[in-house]
Amino acid sequence: MIKKVTIKNLQKMKEEGEKITMISVYTYPLSKIIDQMGIDTILVGDSLGMTILGFEDTLKVTLEDMIRHTQAVSRGAERALVIGDLPFLSYGLSKEETIKHAGMLIKEGNCQAVKLEGGEERTEEIQALLEIGVPVMGHIGLTPTYVNKFGGFKVQGKSQIAETKLLEDAIKLEDAGVFSIVIESVPWKLAKQITEELTIPTIGIGAGEYCDGQVLVIDDLIGLSLIDKPKFVKKYANVQEIVKKAVKDFINEVKEGKYPSEEFRYG
């Protein structure tokens, strides 16, 4: 039987200088494929609001959306640690609500941990989750549920004040007990400083090469995304072109009476 990656394994990877890999994925087949390729952790990100559901941002994603997709991903992931993303307003209301919603994501989604966005203001909720045994991943920098506060999807931590605040937030999250922190869209030097300051692993996205691990959204990584590609995204494949060609070929062959040919029919 394949052994599942654990939070302890991730911690050991930081201590031994082995980079951690994470991909944000939302469906059973892609979860199964990337799990078989040896990814360490899978995030079922609320970015699915944009990539899968076609919203402009992540704010309309519901807990039900997240549970459904986390279930699918968990069915595909034998080895990778699966982290379910808590969507906007499923936390931040009261400790009780946060516990209830995170508990539902763990219990019904069958994931091993949850992620939520924010810094110092989240510490009490994080401690409450840890008390009932729910491991939590933090997320700072360009936290997408704060998009309206930030005035768009913009690089964070550029001023001295913002830099200090992000570093303080990271330390407070570690003190509160998160097992890892996603650092999104911040200058690489700041991400490096945070990574060196913390004893837990940092996972970067648009945060340079010095983080303990890296995460990308699957649609960006394979070239399926219809959204403008941020600077940090490396497109490892062009699935959109492959799909376009396949569909065009199908349309042409049907129109020309070439498909289905004899080999594709029943006797």
Our finding on whether 215 is near ligand KIV (CB under 6 A) is yes
* Shorter beta-carbon distance to ligand KIV: residue 5 or 181: 181
* Shorter beta-carbon distance to ligand KIV: residue 45 or 157: 45
Tokens 């991400």, residue located: 191
Crossing angle for the helix pair 95-109 and 63-76, to the nearest 10 degrees: 30
Site string for ligand KIV, 153-182 (x = CB under 6 A): -----------------------------x
Among 45, 84, 109, 187, interactor with ligand KIV by CB under 6 A: 45
* Shorter beta-carbon distance to ligand KIV: residue 167 or 203: 203
* Shorter beta-carbon distance to ligand KIV: residue 47 or 112: 47
Are 49 and 57 within 8 A, CB to CB? yes
3-class DSSP state of 213: strand
Among 35, 65, 85, 212, interactor with ligand KIV by CB under 6 A: 85
Our finding on whether 205 is near ligand KIV (CB under 6 A) is yes
Crossing angle for the helix pair 123-131 and 160-176, to the nearest 10 degrees: 20
Our finding on whether 65 is near ligand KIV (CB under 6 A) is no
Our finding on whether 21 is near ligand KIV (CB under 6 A) is no
Joined together, the tokens standing for residue 5 give 């990656």
Number of helices and strands (H, E) in the chain? 11, 8
Our finding on whether 217 is near ligand KIV (CB under 6 A) is yes
What gap in Å lies between CA 104 and CA 86, rounded to an integer?
Answer: 10
What sign for the dihedral angle of Cα 23, 192, 6, 143?
A: negative
Catalytic residues: 184
Our finding on whether 114 is near ligand KIV (CB under 6 A) is no
Are 177 and 166 within 8 A, CB to CB? no
Are 20 and 14 within 8 A, CB to CB? yes
* Shorter beta-carbon distance to ligand KIV: residue 152 or 267: 152
- What are the residues binding ligand KIV (CB under 6 A)? 24, 43, 45-47, 85, 182, 184, 205, 215, 217
